[in-house]
Amino acid sequence: MEQTFNPRIIGFLCNWCSYAGADLAGVSRLQMPPSIIPIRVMCSSRVDPLFILTALLRGSDAVLVAGCHPGDCHYQYGNYHTRRRIVLFNKIFETLGLETDRVRLAWVSASEGGRYRDVVTQFTEHIKEKGPNPLKKEIFL
């Protein structure tokens, strides 16, 4: 029997916006795929690119980084730094010929439960189409 592929996506959610947004999606009973493994961080800029790299090399199918919309950061400018880091990370991955669309940055505010559901659903669909992370099978990495 062929098992359906359910992606495991590591989600770094900022404490002030996206985590609350995800919470709202939950209490509003919005339906979405159970693919995200949430990790709460105080700010999206707490996410060191090495966290993302670790997740991908150790076989998570994708990484979602979510934070407050630009201008709404609880710490004023944290998310602008996140944005640059993700750009840099993707550029390096692109230059090395690795897949860049397994990493996604999304702005989700505390009131956007619906947007959180949309982001998760869409991202999960995309990863489902792509298939599992090839590095998961790479034994001698």
Write out the residues near other proteins by the rule CB under 8 A. 49-50, 53-54, 57-59, 67, 70-71, 77, 80-81, 83-89, 91-92, 94-98, 105-107, 134-141
Question: Smallest distance from the beta carbon of 18 to other proteins, in angstroms?
Answer: 11
| Between 83 and 130, CB nearer to other proteins | 83
Classify strands 9-14 and 62-67 as parallel, antiparallel or unpaired: parallel
| Between 29 and 91, CB nearer to other proteins | 91
| Between 94 and 125, CB nearer to other proteins | 94
Determine whether 32 is exposed, middle or buried from the number of CB atoms within 10 Å of its CB (0-12, 13-18, 19+).
middle
Question: Smallest distance from the beta carbon of 66 to other proteins, in angstroms?
Answer: 8
| Between 29 and 137, CB nearer to other proteins | 137
CA separation for the pair 99, 30 (Å, rounded): 30
Q: How many CB atoms lie within 10 A of CB 125?
A: 13
Which of 122, 7, 105, 113 is closest to 62 using CA atoms?
Answer: 7
Question: Smallest distance from the beta carbon of 72 to other proteins, in angstroms?
Answer: 12
Q: 107: which strand partners?
A: 67
| Between 27 and 96, CB nearer to other proteins | 96
Question: Smallest distance from the beta carbon of 2 to other proteins, in angstroms?
Answer: 18
Question: Smallest distance from the beta carbon of 51 to other proteins, in angstroms?
Answer: 11
Q: Judge contact between 17 and 75, C-beta under 8 A.
A: no
CA separation for the pair 115, 18 (Å, rounded): 10
